[in-house]
A and B are shown apart, each in its own frame.
Chain A
């Protein structure tokens, strides 16, 4: 086989390999959402974050606006301190925005949902969200249900 054919085929082979890399990176990975390095930081304190993890989503109205960048435990106040990075384009969250830990779907992964309040001042980088709602812990709900059932039967 001539040198030209050989070099053509090797060139096509390498091009096919790189094309495969591009196809995988573009269409089946999170590369498209990767350019979110510039965002501003918000913090929130929760009693219980449930199954929230670093890199979990932060959504407002169901739309992804940022992600969780750090989770720590504050031993002084016995609370979980969650640090989030919000995209710079979404900089108009009022200071009385509420953050809750919600579950996507029934058994899905957990994310932070932001509900805007009614104040006119906006949250800035480094602010702390004060209105928070912790994750629903299944055992606590079952416990509450059993106690309320026991109360009902006592009242009869």
Chain B
């Protein structure tokens, strides 16, 4: 009777310790990637190719999502505000929500799901088919050739994608508010200009998306590098990338919002 209880307690201890070990491996991995970034800059074609596969190919989902998020927000804001006669504030509500929160966070979640899982699968497969070890045998640094370009490409693409998401969202909101709901064209833009601050809203949004890009890139690349090199392990690693990236992005969003927009 005691033994199953002890087994469960041992399991909790074991999981905690292996979780902490994994956290340590992740940080050591990051410390190895950062110097490799410098060496990678002598081969910019690697970076460009990765920016294509991570950034450009994610563009279509970002644009479509941004358009629909902007349109839905505009519609819902209108229904909420029209009862108070404040329907001219639809543009302010939508633009501020997009720039401060929805742009970085939704882009981060979509990015983690689409590009993060692809990166994990790619690197994990390279590990499983022993390509990474083969590279080390040939005195080619896999950090510089494989890991660092993908990491930097993700970090650079995220702010751009978040900006495109916000811009397309604003355009979608404009289409719904002015063309569908009949709000005044000039009031839409002038209200937004009066209430949106470049430093507070746009720059903070870019900073947030850069932080999310860093975290999503780090988690995706590390999970691929650290995965169990079997097909089942690869599946687990991909799932973990998406889940951990999403949780980290949402948690960091709260911390950053409290720091940036708190009193």
Contacts and interface: CB of A to CB of B under 8 A. Distances in A.
B55 A34 contact: no
Contacts of B201: 29
Contact of A25 (B55, B159, B194, B202): B202
B99 to A, nearest CB: 7
B56 A24 contact: no
Interface string A8-51: 01101110111111011101111110100000000000000000
A7 B48 contact: yes
B160 interface: yes
Contacts of A3: 45
Interface string B49-60: 101100110010
A17 B167 CA distance: 9
A23 B159 CA distance: 15
Instruction: Report, as a range, how many residues of chain B touch the other chain.
Output: 20 to 34
B106 interface: no
Contact of A24 (B49, B52, B55, B167): B167
A155 interface: no
Interface residues of A, number: 24
Contacts of A23: 167, 170
A63 interface: no
A6 interface: yes
User: Do most interface residues of chain A lie in helix, strand or loop, or is the interface mixed?
Assistant: helix
Q: Which of B52, B99, B194, B196 has the most CB of A within 10 A?
A: B52
Interface in B171-202: 189, 192-194, 196-198, 201-202
Contacts of B163: 17, 20-21, 24
Nearest to B66: A20
Interface in A128-151: none
A13 B51 contact: yes
A30 B197 contact: yes
A30 B194 contact: yes
A10 B48 CA distance: 7
B220 to A, nearest CB: 19
Contacts of A10: 48, 51-52, 55-56
A30 B198 contact: yes
Contacts of A24: 99, 163, 166-167, 170, 202
Contacts of B202: 21, 24-25, 29
A7 B99 CA distance: 29
Interface in B66-112: 91, 95, 99
Nearest to B161: A17
B164 interface: yes
Interface string B118-149: 00000000000000000000000000000000
18 contacts: A6-B52, A10-B48, A13-B51, A13-B59, A20-B168, A21-B202, A23-B167, A24-B167, A25-B198, A27-B189, A27-B192, A27-B193, A28-B95, A28-B193, A29-B196, A30-B193, A30-B198, A34-B198
Interface of B: 45, 48-49, 51-52, 55-56, 59, 91, 95, 99, 157, 159-161, 163-164, 166-168, 170, 189, 192-194, 196-198, 201-202, 206
